[in-house]
């Protein structure tokens, strides 16, 4: 797997870093991979590599660049405390702006010729939902997005396909939150939702291999349909 670090133009003469994983057999599309609260960790780079294995040009931006650039924390007690402190300083609307900057960056790459999707975990899962609600990206995939239920007033902005993935045992997205999300979104938008039995928070980066494989299969099927539909719709106009 070939990879590199790009500098993404944020406007105003500012740039931020993004890990880029290049597919050996490109399918023409790209995915912006949004980090958990721990930064662009080996786990997140691994998710980008996984998307590249499946044919996507994958880009994982450093979303904390305005607060503490270059962070890659572990799951130790001390690092968890640092991560929770960082996320308290983080402006989510800046995050959506950075996603848009990443999409613009991807469109300039010679390896790219299709559509750009957004996929995120934890904090990144919430940002993937917010991107969908603001029309940023051709499709969005959210894994255990924390706090989506507090932002359902933005759901009317959803225009593209959105996939939601939750772990049954996730205390950060408990049943009450999932029920609220389902009630607000069911039947109103192009939303697909999956609950993974026995899975906890963080299952897509460090969970059971069989659960990861199932979620990966579903994600690829969703993106294949969503991005091909976008291309078809564009071609018909």
Euclidean distance between CA atoms 220 and 52, whole angstroms: 11
Euclidean distance between CA atoms 92 and 214, whole angstroms: 29
Catalytic residue among 29, 43, 105, 201: 201
Euclidean distance between CA atoms 53 and 173, whole angstroms: 29
Confirm whether 201 is a catalytic residue. yes
Q: Please list the alpha-helical segments (H only) found in 110-208.
A: 123-133, 175-185, 203-206
The two tokens of residue 142 are 């959210």
Burial of 31 (0-12, 13-18, 19+ CB in 10 A): buried
* Kind and range of the H or E run holding 217: helix 209-236
Catalytic residue among 43, 170, 200, 237: 170
Euclidean distance between CA atoms 197 and 137, whole angstroms: 29
Strand pairing class (14-22; 57-61): antiparallel
By annotation, the residues acting in catalysis are: 170, 201
């Amino acid at each position: 797997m070939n990879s590199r670090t790009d500098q993404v133009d944020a406007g105003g003469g500012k740039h931020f870093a993004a890990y880029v994983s290049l597919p050996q057999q490109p399918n023409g599309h790209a995915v912006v991979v949004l980090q958990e609260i721990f930064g662009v960790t080996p786990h997140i780079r691994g998710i980008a590599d996984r998307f590249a294995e499946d044919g996507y040009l994958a880009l994982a931006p450093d979303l904390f660049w305005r607060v503490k650039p270059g962070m890659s924390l572990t799951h130790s007690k001390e690092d968890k405390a640092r991560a929770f402190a960082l996320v308290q300083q983080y402006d989510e609307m800046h995050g959506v702006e950075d996603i848009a900057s990443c999409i613009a960056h991807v469109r300039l790459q010679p390896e790219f010729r299709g559509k750009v999707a957004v996929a995120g975990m934890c904090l990144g899962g919430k940002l993937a939902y917010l991107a969908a609600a603001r029309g940023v990206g051709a499709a969005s995939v959210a894994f255990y997005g924390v706090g989506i239920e507090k932002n359902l007033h933005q759901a009317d902005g959803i225009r593209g396909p959105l996939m939601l993935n939750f772990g049954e045992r996730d205390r950060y997205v408990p049943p009450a939150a999932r029920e609220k999300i389902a009630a607000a979104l069911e039947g109103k938008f192009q939303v697909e939702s999956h609950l993974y039995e026995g899975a906890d928070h963080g299952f897509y980066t460090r969970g059971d291999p069989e659960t990861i494989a199932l979620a990966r299969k579903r994600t690829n099927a969703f993106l294949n349909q969503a991005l091909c539909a976008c291309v078809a719709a564009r071609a018909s106009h």
